[in-house]
């Protein structure tokens, strides 16, 4: 399903009216009716307060008010704009509603009497907001948020940016939102997703070809789309058909990260997995694995890979492995930094870089332009900040700036898209929700996952899952998108069984089989 910005939605609206000849008033009629029907579906008949601004969003709200009034509901519209300042379509709806006897008051304040026992329809601003909300509207929003009245937002909660989900001054906290045609980016990203509540997407007559256009570069993966990405398995398959992943990970005190990455990789369908580990720790790994294989690699004697690890790694990747996954638990010492950069520059199989492999690249992202194969990066916010930072110290990962972290949080989609395009990589910017970007500018916003997945090792599991999808033949963007979706689905299944407070990363691995089965129901 496509996801749009305010500008893209305006273009769809404009083309619908100008190119297809569907009048704006017709779209407004259908939008307002869909809101009224949703109110009728969700609530028993009672008092409704419609907060209507002067633009087309306000017109949608007035249409909803008129329909509810016709159905016998107790309806009052508070008109927050002077009549002479209403948009043409909003003015037309205002005049119709007034002739039909709908109670309309020109007022931009709320009092306790208004809200007592009422359902509130927020039709104040809509998707076109660019500047912070100011008094008296901001004061009205604060009064509404302090009440216990259920709120249905029209298109998007007033005060939320459609483009990034940010709060512009003050924003309505809605219980649910009825939007039209397609979801907006602001519905999907925090804090806009919280302010939107339950999201209902209604068809009001936009031409289908405009809603599925390739020109719309952001989408959210749905269950049926995810199922279509999962490769079929033929009856005569053998393990070699599903690839061999080399997981280079782990150091003294961080063996668990490597083990979880490898186990998640196998559980997600990779045919074979080999763990490349510091040779002084190989005995620990041999005692804890069953299906995986172990490749001991030269280390510094302290459980950290040395420069000498490059040659056996390069040989193994050239002769046996189809995918490299590296980073979890490596540490970021100087030998690891040199090793990771050299691997990126020379190997010819797809690679997934996470955790300490990302820290090793920090301050030297120019290496991606020299890569000879597709590179998938899976940073969390802190690792993303290090990748973006100027590492003038040249030793160790650069410090994480709180200002930079805030910038990334407030524009996850833009940051991910820009970085992927600039460096020619596939970027999975982890968080709630995760955002996946590819070098041509397409972006996917993930729709699965839960707060219980904010736990140590969850990222290591994701690294293994994406590597497994690459090994089974998915293209890098599809592998990243599907891996993130499946990771969240397995996390959701784990949360149902364990609860969000007790969930640990190994629970996610445990529930990969059920998550896969839910996507592909064919039995063997």
The DSSP secondary structure of 461-512, one letter per residue, reads HHHHHHHHHHHTT--HHHHHHHHHHHHHHHHHHHHHHH-TTT--HHHHHHTH
Please give the span between the terminal C-alpha atoms of the chain, in angstroms, as a whole number: 31
Strands, DSSP E only, in 354-505? Answer: 375-377, 426-429, 435-437, 443-445
Q: What is the pLDDT of residue 524?
A: 44
The dihedral over CA atoms of 230, 236, 239, 240, expressed in degrees to the nearest 10, equals -90
Please, what is the average pLDDT of the chain? 94
Numbers of helices and strands, H then E, in the chain: 22, 17
User: If residue 258 lies in a helix (H) or strand (E), which one and from where to where?
Assistant: helix 255-267
User: 320: closest CA among 349, 298, 343?
Assistant: 349
How much is the CA Rg of the chain, to the nearest whole Å?
26
pLDDT digits (tens, 9 = 90+) for 57-99: 999 999 999 999 999 999 999 999 999 999 999 999 999 999 9
pLDDT tens figures, 404-441: 998 999 899 999 999 999 999 999 999 999 999 999 99
Q: How confident is the model at residue 395 (pLDDT cuts 50, 70, 90)?
A: low
> Kindly report the CA angle at 364 between 359 and 365, in degrees rounded to 5?
90
- pLDDT at position 398 over 90: no
With 60 as the cut, is the pLDDT of residue 32 above it? yes
Record the tokens describing residue 114, joined without a space: 């208004």
Indicate the SS3 state at residue 273: strand
State phi, psi for 34 to the nearest 5 degrees. Answer: -65, -35
How far, in whole angstroms, is CA 506 from its chain's centroid? 23
Exposure of 233 by Cβ count < 10 A (0-12 exposed, 13-18 middle, 19+ buried)?
Answer: middle
List all residues 6 or more positions away from 39 whose beta carbon is below 8 Å from its beta carbon: 48, 64, 68, 119, 121, 152
pLDDT tens figures, 266-283: 999 999 999 999 999 999
- Assess contact for 247 and 464: CB atoms under 8 A: yes
* E strands, 165-319, in order: 176-180, 198-202, 218-220, 244-248, 272-278, 293-297
Burial class (CB in 10 A: 0-12, 13-18, 19+), 283: exposed
| Measured CA angle at 460 (ends 345, 477), to 5 deg | 60
Range with the poorest average pLDDT among 12-26, 214-228, 303-317: 214-228
pLDDT digits (tens, 9 = 90+) for 345-390: 999 999 999 999 999 998 789 999 999 999 999 999 999 999 998 6
Q: Is 25 helix (H, G, I), strand (E, B) or coil?
A: helix
The b/e string for 26-43 (b: 16+ C-beta within 10 A; e otherwise) is ebbbbbbbbbbbbbeeee
At 98 the pLDDT is: 97
Tell me the C-alpha to C-alpha distance, in Å, between residue 258 and each of 271, 288, 399, 519: 18, 11, 25, 27
Q: How far is it, in rounded angstroms, from Cα 524 to Cα 522?
A: 7
Q: What is the pLDDT of residue 65?
A: 98
Contacts of 151 (CB under 8 A, 6+ apart): 119, 120, 121, 122, 144, 157, 172, 173, 174, 175, 197
What 3-state class would DSSP assign to 257? helix
DSSP state of 281: G
Nearest to 487, CA basis, from 460, 465, 519: 465
Answer whether residue 339 shows pLDDT above 90: yes
Tell me the percentage of the chain whose pLDDT exceeds 90: 86
Q: Do 482 and 436 contact (CB within 8 A), yes or no?
A: no
- Sorted by sequence, the CB contacts under 8 Å of residue 300 that are 6+ apart come out as 306, 333, 335
| Angle of CA points 249, 432, 479, to nearest 5° | 50
- pLDDT digits 0-9 by tens, 218-234: 999 889 889 889 888 88
Rounded-to-integer distance, Cα 357 and Cα 324, Å: 12
């Amino acid at each position: 399903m496509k996801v749009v910005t305010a500008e893209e939605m305006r273009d769809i609206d404009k083309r619908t009216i100008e190119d297809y000849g569907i009048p704006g008033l017709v779209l407004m009629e259908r939008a307002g009716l869909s809101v009224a029907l949703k109110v009728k579906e969700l609530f028993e008949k009672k008092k409704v307060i419609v907060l209507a601004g002067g633009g087309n969003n306000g017109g949608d709200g007035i249409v909803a008010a008129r329909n509810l009034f016709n159905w016998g509901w107790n309806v009052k519209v508070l008109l927050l704009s002077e009549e002479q300042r209403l948009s043409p379509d909003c003015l037309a709806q205002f005049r119709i509603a007034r002739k039909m006897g709908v109670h309309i008051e020109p007022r931009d304040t709320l009092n306790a009497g208004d809200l007592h026992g009422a359902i509130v329809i927020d039709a104040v601003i809509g998707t076109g907001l660019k500047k912070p909300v100011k008094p008296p509207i901001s004061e009205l929003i604060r009064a509404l948020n302090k009440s216990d009245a259920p709120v249905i937002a029209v298109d998007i909660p007033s005060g939320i940016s459609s483009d990034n989900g940010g709060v512009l001054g003050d924003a309505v906290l809605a219980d649910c939102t009825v939007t039209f045609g397609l979801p907006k980016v602001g519905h999907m990203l925090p804090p806009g997703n919280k302010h939107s509540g339950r999201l209902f997407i209604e068809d009001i007559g936009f031409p289908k070809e405009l809603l599925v256009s390739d020109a719309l570069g952001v989408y959210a993966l749905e269950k049926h789309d995810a199922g279509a990405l999962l490769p079929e398995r033929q009856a005569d398959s053998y393990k070699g058909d599903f690839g061999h992943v080399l997981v280079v990970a782990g150091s003294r005190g961080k063996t668990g990260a490597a083990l979880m990455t490898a186990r998640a990789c196998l559980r997600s369908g990779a045919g074979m997995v080999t763990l490349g580990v510091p040779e002084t720790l190989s005995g620990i790994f041999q005692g804890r694995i069953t299906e995986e294989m172990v490749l001991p690699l030269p280390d510094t004697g302290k459980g950290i890979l040395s420069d000498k690890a490059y040659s056996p790694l390069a040989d193994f990747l050239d002769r046996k492995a189809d995918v490299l996954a590296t980073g979890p638990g490596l540490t970021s010492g100087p030998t690891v930094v040199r090793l990771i950069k050299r691997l990126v520059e020379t190997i010819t199989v797809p690679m997934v870089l996470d955790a300490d492999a990302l820290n090793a690249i920090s301050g030297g992202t120019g290496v991606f332009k020299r890569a000879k194969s597709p590179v998938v990066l899976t940073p969390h916010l802190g690792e993303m900040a290090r990748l973006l930072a100027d590492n003038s110290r040249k030793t160790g990962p650069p410090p994480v700036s709180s200002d930079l972290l805030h910038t990334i949080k407030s524009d996850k989609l833009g940051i991910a898209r820009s970085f992927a395009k600039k460096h020619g990589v596939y970027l999975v910017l982890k968080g709630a929700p995760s955002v996946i970007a590819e070098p041509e500018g397409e972006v996917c916003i993930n729709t699965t996952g839960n707060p219980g997945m904010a736990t140590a090792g969850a990222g290591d599991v994701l690294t293994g899952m994406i590597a497994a999808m690459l090994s089974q033949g998915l293209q890098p963007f599809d592998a990243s998108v599907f891996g993130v979706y499946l990771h969240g689905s397995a996390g959701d299944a784990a949360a149902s069984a364990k609860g969000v407070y007790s969930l640990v990363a190994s629970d996610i691995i445990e529930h990969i089989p059920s998550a896969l089965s839910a996507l592909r129901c064919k039995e063997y």
